[in-house]
């Protein structure tokens, strides 16, 4: 396997994921262990479009976007674990279980996302994810991602 140079910046992430602005939810990959775990970062910026309506005068990152960041980090873990796989499958969010939101995430926060692979079966990945800000847990979720699109 080819060594992965970390940290992986947004351009490296774009080589793995099809997401683009404004829906690319991770900015950097800090740590990676094949088939086991990944640690990624989302820098929460005040100019993100969802803050105009969520909520005016009190911007809070929507919880569904935190879950999406966890799922995208999981997709990065899947792709980095199988770098030679071509064509690269499009991993789609298939299930979210037990999502919990513990603290608001606001502009200026640096969201640290840790995802652990719990199981892989028939190309589907089960992950446990958590997102934190300054050591405080912001959200947790268990998710399942499945290969989809034209590459299945």
pTM, 2 dp: 0.94
Short-list 51, 44, 61, 58, CA closest to 112: 44
pLDDT band of residue 1 (cuts 50, 70, 90) is very low
DSSP E strands, the chain? 28-33, 37-43, 90-101, 110-121, 124-133, 136-148
CATH number at residue 69: 3.10.129.10
Percent of the chain with pLDDT over 90: 86
**Rounded to an integer, what distance in angstroms lies between the CA atom of residue 40 and that of residue 14?**
14
What pLDDT sits at residue 152? 43
The answer to the question of residue 108 being in a domain is: yes
| Marked catalytic residue, from 50, 54, 79, 82 | 54
Q: Is residue 140 part of a domain?
A: yes
Q: Over the stretch 50-105, which tens digit does the pLDDT of each residue have?
A: 999 999 999 999 999 999 999 999 999 999 999 888 888 888 999 999 999 999 99
Active site residue 54: yes
Structural domain of 139: 10-151
Q: What is the arithmetic mean of pLDDT over 23-48?
A: 97
């Amino acid at each position: 396997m080819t060594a992965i140079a970390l940290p992986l910046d947004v351009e490296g992430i774009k080589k793995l994921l099809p997401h683009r602005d404004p829906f690319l939810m991770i900015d950097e990959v800090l740590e990676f262990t094949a088939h086991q775990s990944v640690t990624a970062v989302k820098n929460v910026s005040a100019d993100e479009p969802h803050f105009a309506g969520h909520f005016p005068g009190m911007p809070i990152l929507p919880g569904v976007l935190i879950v999406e960041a966890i799922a995208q980090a999981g997709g990065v873990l899947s792709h980095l674990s199988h770098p030679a796989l071509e064509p690269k499958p499009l991993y789609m969010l298939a299930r979210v279980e037990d999502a919990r939101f513990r603290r608001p995430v606001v502009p200026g926060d640096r969201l640290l996302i840790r995802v652990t692979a719990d199981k892989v079966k028939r190309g589907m990945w089960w992950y446990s994810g958590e997102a934190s800000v300054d050591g405080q847990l912001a959200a947790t979720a268990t998710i399942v991602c499945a290969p989809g699109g034209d590459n299945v």
